[in-house]
Amino acid sequence: MRLKLAATAAIALTAMPVAAFADGEVNIYSYRQAYLLEPLLNAFEKETGIESNVVFAKQGLAERLDREGRNSPADVVMTVDISRIDELVERNLLQGITDNKILNKNIPENLRHPDGEWFALTTRGRLIYTSKDRVEEGAITTYEDLADEKWNNRICTRSGKHPYNIALISSMIAHHGEADTEKWLAGVKDNLARKPQGGDRDQIKAIAAGVCDVAIGNSYYYGNMLQDENEREAAETVRLVFPNADGRGTHINISSIALTKSAPNKDNAIKLMEFLSSAEAQRIYAEANAEYPANPNVKPVGMVAEWGEIHPDSISLQEIADNRNAAVKLVDRVDFDGE
């Protein structure tokens, strides 16, 4: 037994990937699953010959980057929520890129940090799903409507503490103030058909099951379900609503990329950022994960285009990030996730 273990260990040791510092590489700390980045990074390598190395985790990467300090191998951080990237700004772990013509041309001003500390790559709308059978078209058109008594016992959502819901609540605070948002959130809680649970896909499935009639979820989950033969049937029972389309616009969140302060491969990192903002990469994003490209010159494709145009809320993402703590505490105060 011991011999076998030793042999296995030896094989594994020799095959172990070595941390990359050599030229021609770029190192990524990612809050997004590595397999979702793969097509993009492959295209990048094909075009530039630069290899990418990835560590994916949903927690702890900020601490790791911080503690590793000036010796950190990470060149860029990729995130899927405005709060995650804002945390890195607050902790002074990023460096701004202000004078890059390509990035500034590809990414509109409202989708990048004022000092170029981060750049959005895609946006995703936080939408309302309604049952095609049980909810008339146009019966619900705004986030504010979710607190209306007529939806009593008919709404489903994931945990109020999930970053996507926190960002939505933050945007409500930005628009209505904390006191009114608390009333609204308490109203939504009263309307819940079940305790918040699962992911966004589970809410669509709950509508299909008749557990509830209205749900909150990101646009691309619906798109992904339509593409999965086992889940298509459930997805086809719901209708997409772009909330507040006629008013201030639909709440959006971003996935983004940022250059670390310590980046050892800075030039390669900037090349990667430029590439990911380019039309070619933005198209891959849009096709593979049903998201909205941040680059205004790339139009949504396929089914995302069929859903109709999205009118994003024009509020600054920074303001949403600034209201994060207030939103988290609000969720606790109305006991949103409680029984």
Partner 1 sequence: MSEAATGANIAPAQPLHIKRTSKRWLIAAALITAIVALPVLAVIYLAFFPDENIWPHLMSTTLPRYLVTTLKLMLGVGILALGIGLSSAWAVTMCEFPGRKYFEWAMLLPFAVPAYVIAYVYTSLLDYAGPVQSALRAVFGWTSAADYWFPEIRSLEGAILMIGLVLYPYVYLLARAAFLEQSPSLFAVSRSLGHSAISTFFRVVLPIARPAIAVGLSLVMMETLNDFGTVDFFAVQTLTTGLFDTWMNLGNLGGAAQIASVMLIFVLVLVTLERYSRRRQQQFAARDNREPIRRFTMSFPRQMVCVAVCGIPVFLGFAIPGATLATYAIEYFSESWNPDFIQNTLNSLFLSSAAALTTLVIGVTLAYSRRLHNTRGMQVLMRLSSLGYAMPGAVLAVGVIVPLAGFDNWLDSLMRDYFGFSSGLLLSGSAFALIFAYTVRFLAVSAGSVESALQKITPSMDMASRSLGHTPGKTLVKVHLPMLRGTLVTAALVVFVDCMKELPATLILRPFNFETLATYVYQFASDEKLFHSALPALIIVVAGIIPIILMSRSISNSRAMN
| Residues at the interface with partner 1 (CB under 8 A) | 1, 5, 8-9, 11-13, 15-21, 27, 33-36, 53-61, 63-64, 67-73, 83, 87, 90, 159, 161, 163, 166, 195-202, 205-206, 208-211, 221, 228, 234, 324-325, 328-329, 332-333, 335, 337-338
Q: Which is nearer to partner 1, 36 or 240 (CB)?
A: 36
Angle between helices 266-277 and 34-48 (to 10 degrees): 100
How many whole angstroms separate alpha carbon 148 and alpha carbon 331? Answer: 18
Q: How far is CA 57 from CA 15, 60, 78, 83, in A?
A: 23, 7, 11, 16
CB 155 within 8 Å of CB 215: yes
Q: Which is nearer to partner 1, 238 or 298 (CB)?
A: 238
Q: How far is CA 300 from CA 80, 253, 310, in A?
A: 19, 16, 10
CB of 255 vs partner 1, minimal distance in Å: 13
CB of 32 vs partner 1, minimal distance in Å: 9
Q: Which is nearer to partner 1, 103 or 215 (CB)?
A: 215
How many whole angstroms separate alpha carbon 25 and alpha carbon 36? Answer: 19
CB of 98 vs partner 1, minimal distance in Å: 26
Q: Which is nearer to partner 1, 87 or 319 (CB)?
A: 87
CB of 224 vs partner 1, minimal distance in Å: 8
How many whole angstroms separate alpha carbon 301 and alpha carbon 306? Answer: 8
Q: Which is nearer to partner 1, 21 or 296 (CB)?
A: 21
CB of 19 vs partner 1, minimal distance in Å: 5
How many whole angstroms separate alpha carbon 192 and alpha carbon 189? Answer: 5
Q: Which is nearer to partner 1, 8 or 297 (CB)?
A: 8
How many whole angstroms separate alpha carbon 272 and alpha carbon 197? Answer: 37
CB of 145 vs partner 1, minimal distance in Å: 23
Q: Which is nearer to partner 1, 11 or 305 (CB)?
A: 11
How many whole angstroms separate alpha carbon 6 and alpha carbon 89? Answer: 45
How many whole angstroms separate alpha carbon 17 and alpha carbon 120? Answer: 30
Q: Which is nearer to partner 1, 170 or 278 (CB)?
A: 170
